[in-house]
Amino acid sequence: YEAKLQNSGYQLFNSDIIDTFNRKLDLENELRWAIARNQMFLHYQPQVNAESCRMEGMEALVRWNHPTLGQVPPGEFIPIAEESGIIMDIGKWVLKEVCVQLSRWLADSFDVPSIAVNLSARQFMAPDLVSSIRDIVRGTSCSPQQIVIEITESSSMNDIESVLPILHEFKSLGFQIAIDDFGKGYSALGYMKQFPIDILKIDKSFVQELISDSKSVVITKTIIDMAHGLNLKVIAEGVETTDQLDCLRKMACDIVQGYLIDPPMSPDRLESRYWIGV
């Protein structure tokens, strides 16, 4: 009986691996065509002042709508795009799209302070990253000051020697820089003083435990105080409840982003919620 159980367990395990493997191969093949076939689009999530709720900026988040696979979440396809190198093309497409959207909004007098774009660690390995991003922005009526580059704490700390000079180049061109998912990786605090950062984004795992876990309160408070001491703005991500918002306000968190305020949404919907006509 035991042998039989083990045997079936093994087969189950085995076919699971094959399914996962096939799904990954399918996604990778399909991903190569996704931009050309117009399957990619962007959603934007507002980032608002914690006190006044005025919009301070927004984050662009890529979406993939495949005709048969359906909506594939970024958590699933971004890692595949990174491994296969397709992230290079996706990254350029995202930035171009953001600049076109921002130019359109500004032309319509929809006063969007800035839009944040996520960059993967893999993109930092391309020798032409800075020049290609600079050229994309130059080709539009946007300026680098209106673009925030988000890089995760783990990818920035991973290879500090090569990432640091690139961040300085971005900074000298006028781009803003945000460290994403802060607190989730191994924070090498000593490097904080070398990094030309404008914004720290507290990882949503801390925000979501604010009410249930007193240690998360201490950690979040410490991150906010440190950031303010370094003259950085703090964004709390993943804010889902008013209790969390109240708690963040008490800690003097500058900006909040999360489902409580608004989920990521289409440009049309965002306009209808935030644009005050002139």
Residues within the interface to ligand C2E (CB under 6 A): 45, 61-62, 73-75, 78, 94, 118-120, 150, 180-181, 204, 237-240, 258-259, 264
- Chain positions 78 to 97 lying near Mg ion, rule: CB under 5 A, are none
- Which residue's CB is nearer to ligand C2E, number 204 or number 251? 204
Pair of tokens at residue 125:
């390995």
Q: Are residues 260 and 241 in contact, defined by beta-carbon separation less than 8 angstroms? A: yes
Report the partner that residue 238 touches, choosing among ligand C2E, Mg ion, none (CB closer than 5 to 8 A by kind).
ligand C2E
Nearest one of 119, 122, 219, 210 to 170, comparing CA atoms: 119
CB of 29 to ligand C2E, least distance (A): 20
Report the partner that residue 264 touches, choosing among ligand C2E, Mg ion, none (CB closer than 5 to 8 A by kind).
ligand C2E
CB of 109 to ligand C2E, least distance (A): 27
CB of 247 to ligand C2E, least distance (A): 14
DSSP assigned state of 265: B
Q: Are residues 149 and 170 in contact, defined by beta-carbon separation less than 8 angstroms? A: yes
Q: Which residue has the tokens 């781009």?
A: 175
- Which residue has the closest beta carbon to ligand C2E? 258
- Which residue's CB is nearer to ligand C2E, number 62 or number 102? 62
Query: What distances in angstroms separate CA 34 from CA 27, 69, 87, 100, 157, one per listed residue?
Result: 10, 12, 12, 19, 31
Q: Are residues 64 and 77 in contact, defined by beta-carbon separation less than 8 angstroms? A: yes
- Which residue's CB is nearer to ligand C2E, number 61 or number 157? 61
DSSP assigned state of 165: H
Per CB under 5 A, the segment of 29-37, 148-156, 192-200, 255-263 that binds Mg ion is 148-156
Report the partner that residue 78 touches, choosing among ligand C2E, Mg ion, none (CB closer than 5 to 8 A by kind).
ligand C2E
Interaction between residue 153 and Mg ion (CB under 5 A): no
Single residue of 47, 101, 114, 118 touching Mg ion by CB under 5 A: 118
Count the site residues for Mg ion by CB under 5 A: 5
Q: Which helix (H) or strand (E) holds 225?
A: helix 214-229
Q: Which residue has the tokens 């600079």?
A: 134
Single residue of 82, 97, 153, 180 touching Mg ion by CB under 5 A: 180
In the chain, the DSSP E strands lie at 40-49, 55-66, 70-72, 115-119, 147-152, 176-182, 199-202, 233-237, 255-257
Binding site for Mg ion (CB under 5 A): 118, 138, 150, 180-181
